[in-house]
Amino acid sequence: MVFNSYTFIAFFLIILFLHNLPLSWKTKKINLLLASYIFYAAWNPPFILLLWLSTVIDFFVGRALYTQENHYKKKMLLIVSLIGNLGMLVFFKYGTFLLENFVALCNAIGFDYHPAEPNIILPAGISFYTFTTLCYTIDMYQKRSEPVKSLLDFSLFVTFFPHLVAGPIVRPPQLVPQFEWPRKASLKQMTDGLLLLTLGLFMKVVLADSMLSATANSVFESKDLLPTLDAWIGVFAFSGQIFLDFAGYSTCAIGVALCLGFVLPQNFNYPYAAIGFSDFWKRWHITLSTWLRDYLYIPLGGNRHGKIRTYFALMATMLLGGLWHGANWTFVAWGGLHGIYLWIERYLKDRRHAAHSHKEPSDTIEVRRHPWISFFYALLTFMLINITWVFFRADTFGKSWQLLQSMFGLVGEGKALLTTLAILKVSIIVPLIVLFHWFMRNTKVLNVAYKLSWFWISLVWSTLVLMIIWAQESGSSFIYFQF
């Protein structure tokens, strides 16, 4: 079941009705849990067992980790949890990938090995709920928070349908306390939630699917060399599509949860206004980047053990972050390129600090950049990020290299692919996205909405709804469902 479907609208109305009935809080939580399982079962019902098994194991292992005083037994429990969670993730998501690479390696060294092709189905959202349960058991091991008292609350924490399939990736302290006491949306929360849901659907259905996806697909699926303009337009189209698609989902998820009285963490903060790549990762897929920082980068040493260790931790984090997105070496290259960007940024920052270290304290205060200079850096960051999207979207390195050649004019001009209308749509929408991000980079869309009169809110809101209805037939599944 997807947010951009009439089935979900009917499902959501039923959930809202049940949640606002004068029932006990435990009954309402059971309703939400059952609804979450129904929501997940819409993809493949048997995988509910996998989700349930992961939930139950981590609930009891987490409690044992928190109370266990024997260091050896505690480590064994953590290893059991890691093997259980990561084992399922590796098998279902990376099983075919690992087998293909093993076969390629065997054939490369002279062994003629051709096993039967595996038929492994990827469970929806396994990367997201695996990280959700992993952070719980790791937190219990380190005693960062207390164990969840109720299996019902923990099950709802893991499976709560707004965030289940594609995030935001929630931590126990962010959501579990909200299940302890009765919650029902206030009028303001209901209004804000419905507005966010409408905005998220507009981003996904109207802009990402109707306006940009066809152009991106045409360019990335083309087998021919392209004119430079067509290549860049296709990459810009995907750049806009991936943001609008994923941020649209997160906005819908936050809005749906808010309509039920629950608050989910922010997942995007106008990333195309980022000034530099560390700033980009503070704004893009925030719950993933903070998860990688807290559970991978810092345990690998972070910036506490010298420059070499810091650079190693940065690259390892980004490579594994790339692999998290998909079982393909192109995703690893995408993560590695971001790692190189962060390396260069870190190196320049270290040099700048070293150059100022011998000066008087008053001279070390960084002067605020002129807005136009900051905007130039934001544009430079955006352009370099677009290069990384080539590896994210392309299926093979050959296709990536072919497209990069076309983008930078390293080959002769290919045959024109895109229509004038397609080029105009991307040339208007993507710059507007960047400008919108820039002017909104330090505020929130709801804060802007609060300043508008009801007349203007009603006009904009009704326009968005009408455009969603008009474009609904072009809607497709969210991109991040495959991760």
**pLDDT grade, residue 68 (50/70/90)?**
confident
Residues 198 and 148 in one domain: no
Domain span holding position 120 = 21-181
Asked whether residue 120 falls in the same domain as residue 215, the answer is no
Last residue of a domain, one of 181, 214, 243: 181
Report the range of poorest mean pLDDT among 30-39, 102-111, 273-282: 102-111
Least confident of 153-167, 252-266, 375-389: 153-167
Q: Is the pLDDT of residue 362 over 50?
A: no
Task: Take residue 54 and report the two structure tokens written for it.
Answer: 């992961």
CA triplet 125, 170, 128: central angle to 5 degrees?
15
Q: What's the rounded mean pLDDT across residues 6-30? A: 93
Question: Is the domain of 156 the same as that of 293?
Answer: no
pLDDT at res. 473? 63
Asked, for residue 12, whether it belongs to a domain, the answer is: no
When pLDDT is cut at 50, 70 and 90, the band that residue 474 belongs to is low
- Mean predicted confidence (pLDDT) in 460-483: 75
pLDDT at site 92: 85
Dihedral sign, Cα of residue 249, residue 289, residue 445, residue 426:
negative
The two structure tokens encoding residue 377 = 């850096």
- pLDDT recorded at residue 363: 37
Which of 7-16, 164-173, 220-229, 356-365 shows the lowest per-residue confidence on average (mean pLDDT)? 356-365
User: Does 122 have pLDDT greater than 50?
Assistant: yes
The pLDDT of residue 112 = 76
Do 278 and 199 share a structural domain?
Answer: yes
Output the pLDDT for position 483. 57
pLDDT classification of 177: cutoffs 50, 70, 90? very high
Q: What is the percent of the chain where pLDDT is above 70?
A: 95
Mean pLDDT of all residues in 91-113: 82
Cβ-contact 183, 260 below 8 angstroms: yes
Give yes or no for residue 162 having a pLDDT over 70. Answer: yes
Instruction: Name the pLDDT band for 154 (thresholds 50, 70, 90).
Output: very high
pLDDT computed for residue 281 by the predictor:
95
Q: pLDDT value at position 306?
A: 82
**pLDDT value at position 400?**
94
Same domain, 173 and 237: no
Task: Specify whether 118 is located in the same domain as 231.
Answer: no
325 is an active site residue: yes
Same domain, 62 and 201: no
208, 240 contact by CB (below 8 A): yes
Burial 254-263 (b: 16+ CB within 10 A, else e): bbbbbbbbbe
Q: What is the pLDDT of residue 476?
A: 62
Point out the least confidently predicted range of 216-220, 221-225, 263-267, 468-472. Answer: 468-472
Cα separation, 194 vs 55, whole angstroms:
30
pLDDT at res. 197: 95
Is it true that the peptide bond before 168 is cis, omega within 30 degrees of 0? yes
For residue 358, name the pLDDT band (cuts at 50, 70, 90).
low
Least confident range from 62-66, 336-340, 453-457, 471-475: namely: 471-475
Angstrom distance (rounded) from CA 98 to CA 218: 30
What are 365-416's pLDDT values in tens digits? 343 567 888 899 999 999 999 999 999 999 999 999 999 999 998 877 778 8
Q: Is 40:123 a contact under the CB 8 Å cutoff?
A: no
Q: What is the pLDDT of residue 334?
A: 96
| Average pLDDT taken over every residue of the chain | 88
Whether residue 8 lies inside any domain: the answer is: no
Q: How confident is the model at residue 477 (pLDDT cuts 50, 70, 90)?
A: low
**Within this chain, do residues 133 and 249 fall inside the same structural domain, yes or no?**
no
Measured between alpha carbons, how far is 375 from 67 in angstroms, rounded to an integer?
52
pLDDT > 70? residue 90: yes
Residue with tokens 């129904």: 38
Separation CA 463–CA 122 (nearest Å):
37
Domain endpoint, select from 164, 181, 198: 181
Q: For residue 454, is it within any domain?
A: yes
342 lies in some domain: yes
With respect to residue 3, please indicate whether it lies within any of the assigned structural domains. no
Of 19, 163, 285, 325, catalytic: 325
Gap between the Cα atoms of 20 and 40, Å rounded = 22
State residue 418's pLDDT score.
87
Q: If you average pLDDT over each of 3-7, 121-125, 382-386, 440-444, which comes out highest?
A: 382-386
Based on the fold, state whether residues 28 and 110 are members of the same structural domain: yes
Inside any domain, residue 376: yes
Instruction: Please check whether residue 90 is in contact with residue 127, taking contact to mean a CB–CB distance below 8 angstroms.
Output: no
Whether residue 361 is predicted with pLDDT greater than 50 in this model: the reply is no
Q: Do 30 and 77 belong together in one domain?
A: yes
Residue scoring higher pLDDT (119 or 401) = 401
Residues 158 and 208 in one domain: no
255 shares its domain with 163: no
Over residues 153-161, the mean pLDDT reads 94
Report yes or no on 472 lying in a domain.
Answer: yes
What pLDDT does 85 receive?
A: 86
Of 181, 202, 230, which one is at a domain's C-terminal end? 181
Domain presence at residue 364: no
Average pLDDT of the segment spanning 411-427: 87
Per the structure, the count of domains in the chain is: 2
Residue 418 or 315, more confident: 315
